[in-house]
Structure 1
């Protein structure tokens, strides 16, 4: 397989994982937790890297794509451990700045927000959660990125 084809496969793979996550969120009604978002960011980076790598002859870009895929895989493994109770997950949450809201409006906004816990498994298939499947798929994508990096430009 050519280097360019491997890069396209890895890029489309990350884009497909992102589309799947968005489908679960907006079509399936499963809002993501903090760790779910953390798994998405490296795939976004991998898509940008992949588009750049198709047009630029750089040996560094496929390496960066592999690192992005590995980052998502690592968060997926961490998230799986949190879901399975192997270790504790993040105890903090973040929010944007609060301005122009009355106390009642702020309370209404807080009460309407979905509470999504990182240690709850919202969906699973064959005994593996979305985080576990993301880790597996991300590792496969990292291998494709590494194969692309080893090919001549």
Structure 2
């Protein structure tokens, strides 16, 4: 691989990684692990990174696109860290997906029952699956950090190949 091809290949590899994480999430969902709201939110940056990789594949490596992929991977990592912290009870998650219904004292019994029935079943602060003590959100954070490093290497690789680093 030549120095000029390296940034392109790193970006494509990072985009494939995001696509694989999306496929894994959908696979878990198909296997019966319903996603919580934060799980779904974490998918969007991976979709952006994968789509960015497709653009790079078709139109070629562009620094702006590589920066977009890097930003998407960093956002995915930040959301996954946030979700992991919610699962570990380090901080509170969104009230609507971490239990609790706001305004209980002001509700009639009928309104309370309707609110409880419409409350989401999948909680953001409960771990649905883990491997080696690390939840899906934790694994997403780890893999997203690696993908961020690949995108960063792609961004920096073209500069290094040009001799400006």
1:18 to 19, 22, 30: 22
Corresponding residue for 1:58?
Answer: 62
Corresponding residue for 1:77?
Answer: 81
1:7 to 11, 28, 53: 11
Q: Normalized against structure 1, the TM-score is what?
A: 0.83
Q: Normalized against structure 2, the TM-score is what?
A: 0.77
**Displacement of 1:150:** 1.3
**Displacement of 1:114:** 6.8
- Mapping of 1:1-150 within 5 angstroms? 2-26=6-30, 28-54=31-57, 55-92=59-96, 115-150=121-156
Q: Structure 2 stretches of 5 or more lacking a match? A: 98-113
**Displacement of 1:12:** 0.5
Q: Structure 1 stretches of 5 or more lacking a match? A: 94-106
Q: How far, CA to CA, are the matches of 1:73 and 1:65 in structure 2?
A: 12
Q: How far, CA to CA, are the matches of 2:137 and 2:88 in structure 1?
A: 11
Structure 1 residues 8-27: Cα deviation after superposition (integer angstroms, max 9, x where no partner): 1101100000000000001x
CA-atom RMSD, angstroms? 1.8
Q: How far, CA to CA, are the matches of 1:69 and 1:76 in structure 2?
A: 10
Look up the SS of the partner of 2:69 in the other structure.
Answer: helix
